Structure 1
């Protein structure tokens, strides 16, 4: 038995909560810790972009044009002479905002739908989940594209459209969790006290299912960001003068043979962020898996 195992057993003997045990397991996962550090760094860079960006967002030098990385422009410039590092920092704000806000929309819809269906059960549950099954069969990429074309390429609509198609899996997960939790003694006690179903669901059951919700969140954000990047690559996502990593990648792909740095650096920013979110999500899933922790 090594030193880490002895320390872990000693802490377990002193008594610890589920969250403390999960935190101890998460800290031992180096990939998840590294992913968390990278994600926090990206978020801080996005929040502080107006203060740390080396150039103004709209600053351009047409005489300079597209130039490779240099001391003046660490990541080079685009065809309009705009600093690429500045563009990536501002693009990160939009890409991360889409990821977090659209995921929040998906969580609100999915958690509410799944919790209500799982708690009520019976015909209501069957009807609600059949509706979810029907939506699963629809080509939602086409649905989002149609929304963008009909209602205009509005960034708020993009948040809602992406979030509205990402809630289905969360609804299924939440329904399963609620079905398992509604038989627990604390739920029966809440019912005996005369609490309303709404109070039982959102004040007692949902907080006890927070683990799967957290894991799903960290795994959904990268898929949402990738979806936004794909839409921007097709010209249906973020539109100028705003920018995002997906839009920068789209521009870079058009000139990759002449100016490869315009594709490499935005692609690298998106890839690193997606990997960090996936590593963190996998680590949280393992840390919050009580059954796995007993092995």
Structure 2
């Protein structure tokens, strides 16, 4: 057998360059850049973010697309099914303007009522355009989402940070106040607001302002009690930094992940709370539109005109699912320990 000769150069020690030995090949990332890379890997969160952006754009421009006002009534055009140009010719899509009566007969509702217009999501019992009303209702839901986020990030964070950082008697008094507020159901507060104010968005806004921040305040307080014992807080106090500076420059930035995660989980609850109040008649009043009032109106005629309830139901479900999926993605990205 012939033996293969191995080049002796392969046994020489590797040449080490002192200039390259300390070089970091991977780029250095800060906390937020690293979190964004984790979010990008979460396909569900990214898709939910895109869907939420599309819904937000439609909520802003949707009421102005088809030329109908959300309060405009036309009894002659009542209870018309969805009908969309081009899509009306696709047989397997429910946008052809046809209805089925109790005897099973399928008929063209637009032709029977001599209507030449297109109602993309149909009309309700008063002839109001559901497409316009759905996007007006989406505006209300997004307003509630923004309101809940602001209340949590302003009132809840400040209240919890001050309570946990100051401690002592101040902490005891502030926590007794939160326990009182926790013991009062939100529905009772809304009813009290309705007795003082008219039913509507302002009553819901005040109710959320009174009690919507309590959960965030308790979470922030617990985190502050843990963080204020850390060495960097002692060092900042030794260097003469005021309590306000310590809270603003050290505690709140280190609590950013927890604050964002809890806020994102609070938003769907606030949206559902507003929709529930509107559904039972304690929210927005006619002629104003809310997804809750649209679902309530559609529920009354569900067997005859199911589209009147299904369409707003799909929109509010998408909004709540998207916020929950984004919250899950942010939780995994900002605080991976909370995944389990």
TM-score (structure 2 length as normaliser): 0.77
Kindly indicate whether the alpha-carbon contact (under 8 Å) linking 2:121 and 2:129 is maintained by their aligned counterparts in 1: yes
Aligned with residue 107 of structure 1, among 128, 144, 153: 153
User: Normalized per residue, which structure has more helix?
Assistant: 1
Residue 20 of structure 2 aligns with which residue? none
Contact 2:149 2:264 in 1 (8 A): no
**Structure 1 residues 80 and 135, CA gap change in structure 2 (3 angstroms):** same
The one-character-per-residue Cα deviations of 1:254-274 (angstroms, maximum 9, x if unpaired) are 221221111100111000110
The higher relative CO (CA closer than 8 Å, separation ≥ 6) is in 1
| Equivalent pair of 1:115/1:175 in contact (CA under 8 Å) | yes
1:116 to 162, 175, 186: 162
2:138 to 68, 84, 92: 92
1:212 corresponds to 2:258: yes
Gap runs ≥5 in structure 2: 1-23, 85-117
Larger radius of gyration: 2
Shift of 1:124: 2.1
Q: Superposition RMSD on alpha carbons, in Å?
A: 2.2
Question: 1:230 deviation in Å?
Answer: 0.6
Aligned ranges for residues 41-80 of structure 1 at < 5 Å? 41-71=54-84, 72-80=118-126
CA distance in 1, matches of 2:129, 2:25: 52
Structure 2 residue 291 is the aligned partner of structure 1 residue 245: yes
Superposed displacement of residue 30, structure 1:
1.1
1:6 maps to none
Cα 1:292/1:256, change in 2 over 3 Å: closer
Q: How many residues align?
A: 284
- Structure 1 residue runs of 4 or more that deviate by more than 6 Å after TM superposition: none
The equivalent of 1:273 in structure 2 is 319
Residue 14 (str. 1) matches residue 27 (str. 2):
yes
Q: Secondary structure of 1:63's partner?
A: helix
The one of 48, 54, 58 aligned to 1:35 = 48
Instruction: Provide the C-alpha distance between the structure 2 equivalents of 1:210 and 1:246, rounded to a whole number of angstroms.
Output: 32
Matched with 2:103 is none
The CA deviation at 1:24 is 1.0
Structure 1 stretches lacking a partner, 5+ long: 1-10
Instruction: Name the TM-score, length of structure 1 as normaliser.
Output: 0.88
| CA displacement, residues 50-88 of structure 1 (integer Å, 9 cap, x when unaligned) | 443552223332111111111311211111112111110
Q: What are the equivalent positions in structure 2 for 1:174-213 lying under 5 Å apart?
A: 174-213=220-259
Q: Distance in 1 between matches of 2:319 and 2:284?
A: 19
SS in 2 for 1:69: coil
